[in-house]
Amino acid sequence: MNPLLQKFATPFHTPPFDSIKNEHFLPAIQTAIAEAKAKVQQIIDNQALPTFENTIEALEQSGQAVDLISAIFFNLNHAETNEELQKLAKEISPLLSEYGNDITLNENLFQKIKSVYEQRNQLKLNTEQSTLLEKTYKSFVRNGANLNETQKQRLREIDKEKSQLSLEYSDHVLADTNNFELVIENPADLVGFPESVLEMAAQTAQEKGKPGKWVFTLKFPSYDPFMKYTQNRDMRQKMEFMYANRGFRNNENDNRELVKRIAQLRHERATLLGYASHADFVLEERMASNVPTVRNFLDQILTVAKPVANQEIEELTEYANELDGIEQLERWDFAYYSEKLKKEKFNIDDEILKPYFKLENVIEGIFKVSEKLYNLKFVERKDIAVYHPEVIAYEVQSADNEHIAVLYADFFPRAGKQGGAWMTSFRGQKKENGINHRPHISIVCNFTKSTPTKPSLLTFNEVTTFFHEFGHALHGMLADCQYESLSGTNVYWDFVELPSQFFENWAYEKESLDLFARHYETNEPIPAELIQKIKDSANYMSGYQTVRQISFGKLDMAWHAQNPQNIADVAQFENATMAETALFPTWEGTNMSTSFTHIFSGGYAAGYYSYKWAEVLEADAFELFQEKGMFDTATAQSFKNHILAKGGSEPPMTLYKRFRGKEPAPEALLKKTGLIK
C-alpha cells in the first residue's frame, strides 16, 4: 500500500514520514494526477449551467491530493535530498507542468469558467469568492487559455523545459557548494578565530575523515565566520572566490547556458501571452504593477543609499590601510574589516553576543513573543513523524488549547539541504464542509551547530533570520480563509515579505530580548548596555547593505524586463548591469547570476525588488507598535486580523490600509535605516 495515497492516520493527518519511501512518490503523483483530471472532466461533463459552486469551487478542490503529495516531495528535495530524489524531481516536475497545462489549456473548461466570470456582477458572491473567481479566470488567461492550438503546444514545451532547467540549476549550485572545502593544517593560519568557530571547523574535519585539521566549507555557518575572522588575506580571497563562482567554474555544474536559456524561455512565454517581457507578465500580479514603478522605486532608494555606501567603503578602506597597509579594499576584505571596525566603534561583535543566543533559548523566546502578541502556545509532539532526526515537530495551540497548526523546525546544515533559510508548508489552511483544516508549516534554516563543548549559539544575524522565517510561519499558521489557494502566504510576492521582515523588529527590542536572551553558562540576562549596542549598531553599513540589495533587484530586472536573446556573455552582461551599484572592482571569474537561486530556481524572478518593497511596508507598520507599545494587544490583534489571517483573500493595499489607516511611504524605511534623519 502506498502511504501517500491513503488518508494519513496520523496526528492532525500529518505526513507519515516514517513510512514514506522514495519509490512511493512517482506512482502517487501519477495516480493523484489521474484522479484530479477525472474530477476536472466531471466539471466539464456536467450538463447543468456553470455556477460558482459547480465550476470554480469544484476546480479549487480537484487537485488537493496532487498539491499535498507534490508539497511533501519538493520540500524533501530542498531539505533532505539525495541523488534518487533529484533524479525523481526531473521526472515529476514535467508531469506536474503537463498536468497544469492540461487544465489551464482545456478549452471546454475555460469556457465554463469564462461563463461564470461574465456573470460575476449578477452573482451574490462574498469578497473571498469574488477574489477566487477573479484569480481563477486570470490564471487561465495568463497561462494560455486564449492561445490557438499551435501556441498552446509551444507553451507546454516551454513550461516542461523550464521546470527541468530550474531543477538542474539548483542541483548545480548545491553540488558546487558541497564540492569545495578549505582544509587548514597550520594553527598559525587560525590566529584571531574565536574558539567556537575553531571547534566547529575541527568537528567538520572529524566528520569528513580529517581528524586533527580544520575544515571550512561554503555552507553559510562555516563560510560567514571564516570571512569575518581570517587574517590571511590570500585565504579570504580563495574562500570568497569559490563562494562567488558557484555555477561559473567551467565544470559539469556550470550554469551560464542554463541562465540564458531560462531567461529566454521566460521571455518567449511572456511574449506568447501578449506581454512585452517576463517582468511585465509577473508585475501585472504585484503591488508594484509595472516595470517603470519598480525601476523608479529602486532608483529612488539607490539615490539616497549610494552616497552613504561610498562613504562607508571609504571609511573602511582608510581603516584597513591604517591597520594593514591595504590601499585597495576588495570584496574579500569587506567582512573582515567591517567586523573589526564594528567592534571598535560599538564594542560589539558576534562573539560577544553569541553566548546570549543559545538556540533553545531563542526558540523559547520566539514562542514567548508569539504568545504575547497572538496568544499562541507551542507544544513539542514526539508522536508526529519527522523527515530527519534533527527536525522538531510542534503543535501550535491558542490560549484556550484550540488546535491552530503543526510547525516543523529544521535548523542545521546537511549535505542534502539547500543553503539559506526558508518557510514552506506541507498543507495549507482551508475551510470545507464546515471544518477548518489547519495548516502544516515548516521553517528550514542552516544555523551554527553545537560542538562537543558548546551548545548551538547563534550569531545575531542568525537570530534575525530565525525571526524573519518565523514571521512567514505566523502568516501561514494564523491563516483563516475559505480557500487554500488564497490563504497564508498565497499573496502577491511584494507583500509576502511584510510579515517576515516586520517580525524581525522584535529581535532588536529590549522588551523582547529580556524574555529569552540569557547567557548559556550563567543564565544572566543580556545586559541593557548590550541591547543598546545592538540597536546602536543596527544601521552599521546600512548604505552598503541597501545598495547590495538594490543591485540584486536591478540584476533581476535586467534579466527579465527585456528580450534576453542577445545576451551572449553572462559575465559581461552582469558587469554592465551592476556597474551603477558596484562598490568594489569587477572580479574576473566570479558571477552572481549563476548562483542566484532566488530568481533562477526559486519564485523571485522579476520579484527580488519585493524585499525592499516590503521593508517600506514593515517600517511603516512597525511605527504603529512603536507608538502603541511593543506588545500592545489591540495593535497585534489588528495586524493578525487584517494581515496574517487574510492571506490573499483581498488586494494587499486594501488589507494594509485597513490595518494602518493609510498607504506607506519610503521615508519610513529611509529613516529607520538611518539613511535620512
List active site positions: 469
Question: Quick one: DSSP state of residue 489?
Answer: T
Per-residue cell: 560: 527579465
Residue 518 CA from chain centroid, whole number = 29
Alpha-carbon distances of 663 from 172, 287, 312, 626, 670, rounded to whole Å: 42, 12, 32, 18, 16
Residue 377 per-residue DSSP state = E
Q: Residue 54 contacts by C-beta under 8 Å, 6 or more apart in sequence?
A: 43, 46, 48
Nearby residues of 446 by Cβ (< 8 Å), 6 or more positions away: 219, 220, 221, 411, 412, 413, 417, 419, 420, 421
Pairwise CA distance, residues 667 & 619, whole Å: 9
Cα distance between residue 275 and residue 19, in whole Å: 46
Q: Which three cell numbers stand for residue 268?
A: 518567449
- Within 10 A of 633 (CB to CB), how many other CB atoms are there? 13
Residue 243's identity, in one-letter code, is Y
Q: Are 428 and 487 in contact (CB under 8 A)?
A: yes
Q: Is the dihedral of CA 324, 329, 335, 341 positive or negative?
A: positive
Q: Are the C-beta atoms of 60 and 137 separated by less than 8 Å?
A: no
Helices 460-477 and 497-504 pack at an angle, to 10 degrees, of 140
Strands 403-410 and 440-444: parallel
Angle between helices 610-628 and 652-660 (to 10 degrees): 20
440-444: strand order across its sheet = 376-380, 392-398, 403-410, 440-444, 422-427
CB 269 within 8 A of CB 544: no
Q: How is residue 459 written as a grid cell?
A: 550569531
- CB–CB of 362/370 below 8 Å? no
